Amino acid sequence: MDAVFSGLASGFAVALDPFNLFLVLAGCFAGTLIGALPGIGPINGVAILLPIAYGLGFKPESAIILLAGIYYGAEYGGRISSILLNVPGDAGAVMTTLDGNPMAKNGEAGKALSLSAVASFIGGTFSVILMSFFGPALASYAISFSPSDYVALMVFAFASLASLVGANPVKTLLGAVIGLMLASVGIDANTGVARFTFGIPDILAGIDFLVVVIGLFGMAELIHLVEQQAAGTLKTLKIDKTFVTWKDLAFVKWTILRGSIIGFFIGILPGTGASVASAVAYGTEKRAARDSSKFGHGDMRGLAAPEAANNASAGGAMVPMLTLGIPGSGTTAILLGALLLFNVTPGPLMFSQRPEIAWGLIASMYIGNVALLVINLPLVGLFARMLTIPQQFLTPLIAVLAFIGVYSVVSNPHDLYMITALGVFGWFLRKLQFSLAPVILGFVLGGLFEDNLRRALSISAGDWTILVNSTNSIALYILALLVVVVPIIVGRRRRRQA
């Protein structure tokens, strides 16, 4: 314990250096702006600015502090477009749209943005505290997860999805299946067979997540707005001046704590990321609620849970990167590459050989969370005013952001046609009362599920019993079964009592 406190003391000495402190603030602010742009997300934000940090000749600790600030800031910023425009900034912000956007449409944009900021701050700070004291031990446990354990984790995530959103479980399941089908498009990595490509060379590498999320959310929302304008049913959104209150925070305090715990522990598992953490946190909270009828219609718990989990998972993903040299997410993979550029090898020895980098980064994350709260809360009113933009200007703005966001990342004109087609498809699903969140989550989880299933079967030479030969996998299958069965039993009991 003494080593932890002495390490943190040396880390704060590095992070509070005037130049490094400036980099923390600059990274958080820039990350917030990057995250607010639909589809850019933390991965692309860090990747875009990595050459700048390297080219300016920063010290390794200064460069990684700047990039980590961008990472955290982008996780915060992703909520802005999710809440205001119903367009998630990245995969982790998909769940934020479910209750965040309805709150904005109900005239509570200010409350939604401020609640999101506070939940993100608590989740992020909670994860950094756990990382400081228990990081190495937790990373050692996380690395013990085998491919078969990850298959069980994905089954648990799909089970959580079963009653996650929407009033119709069948449509939720069909949405997840559509997402799985989209995830299977492209060349099979094992056999080299083209799947569902229909002779189109541009999708041989598969459909990029950015294209799917911008198409199904951004373009579908655009078409929906145009339809309402044409029918004359478009309503002017109310802009409130409300702010999250202590009473609101007291109402969601346990929600934020549960989301933070779930987000951190899922975040330390390499390859999972914020999308899985936010989905599981949302599903858990919906089941824990006595009255879940408001979920999906602007419930504060449905916003606080994924936001806390989202930022907690960002801290959790740092644990295996720093302690084992294994990236926990796509963004930490880029941060790992940044350290290697500076001839720094992350791992257990980094805390003793390069403590100024390891502890300096951890200390900067404490500062970054506070900085993001201080930066974002005063801007809540300004962000909420975006909803006052006349619809004839807001509609083309969404279109421009969608096209620029996609083309700046993938640089393929074909994908612009793809997001348009997916937008029409997403609009059609909305007309049929489908929730689009299960489609996105099915797409994200489908790739992880297939990759780990193939690895597990390759290890066992095709023996399916490998999927149930570990304590971790058995426990996760039992949890998945309970997640499906317990709500059915409880629902029947309540109906009998009624």
Pair of tokens at residue 116 = 């999101």
The predicted pLDDT at position 257 comes to 92
Pair of tokens at residue 163 = 């009653």
Distances from the Cα of 247 to the Cα of 106, 107, 204, 243, 244, angstroms: 19, 18, 52, 11, 8
Pair of tokens at residue 102 = 């309805």
Residues 6+ away with beta carbon under 8 Å from 482: none
**Which contacts of 53-61 are long-range, i.e. CB under 8 A and separated by 24 or more positions?**
53/338, 54/338, 54/341, 54/342, 58/23, 60/339, 60/342, 60/344, 60/354, 60/357, 61/14, 61/20, 61/356, 61/357, 61/360, 61/361
Quick check: 288 pLDDT over 60? yes
CB 96 within 8 A of CB 303: yes
Q: In the beta sheet, which residues pair with residue 194? A: 187
- Smallest CA-to-CA distance from 319 within 153, 470, 152, 131 is with 131
Question: What is the average pLDDT score of the chain?
Answer: 79
DSSP for 351-383 reads HHHSHHHHHHHHHHHHHHHHHHHHHHGGGHHHH
User: Which of 256-265, 338-347, 451-460 has the lowest average pLDDT?
Assistant: 338-347
Taken in order 150, 152, 153, 154, is the CA torsion positive or negative?
A: positive
The predicted pLDDT at position 438 comes to 78
Mean pLDDT of 357-364: 84
456-469 pLDDT tens trace: 888 888 788 888 88
Taken in order 410, 412, 414, 420, is the CA torsion positive or negative?
A: positive
The predicted pLDDT at position 356 comes to 82
CB 338 within 8 A of CB 53: yes
Mean pLDDT of 106-133: 86
- Smallest CA-to-CA distance from 272 within 156, 181, 365 is with 156
Phi–psi pair at 297, nearest 5 degrees: -125, 15
CB 312 within 8 A of CB 260: yes
Q: For residue 465, what is the DSSP state?
A: G
Mean pLDDT of 436-444: 77
Mean pLDDT of 250-279: 83
Quick check: 110 pLDDT over 60? yes
From CA 176, how far away is CA 174, in angstroms rounded? 5
Phi–psi pair at 240, nearest 5 degrees: -95, 165
Q: How confident is the model at residue 256 (pLDDT cuts 50, 70, 90)?
A: very high
Residues 6+ away with beta carbon under 8 Å from 411: none
From CA 103, how far away is CA 179, in angstroms rounded? 26
Pair of tokens at residue 69 = 């600030």
From CA 239, how far away is CA 286, in angstroms rounded? 27
Q: Quickly count helices (H) and strands (E) in the chain.
A: 22, 2
Using DSSP, state whether 218 is helix, strand or coil. Answer: helix
Query: Quick one: what percent of the chain has pLDDT higher than 90?
Result: 2
Mean pLDDT of 54-67: 80
From CA 342, how far away is CA 268, in angstroms rounded? 24
CA torsion 384-388-394-395 (nearest 10°) is 110
Residues 6+ away with beta carbon under 8 Å from 424: 219, 220, 223
- Smallest CA-to-CA distance from 71 within 332, 442, 337 is with 332
Mean pLDDT of 231-252: 72
Phi–psi pair at 118, nearest 5 degrees: -70, -45
Q: How far is CA 315 from the centre of its chain?
A: 12
From CA 76, how far away is CA 249, in angstroms rounded? 18
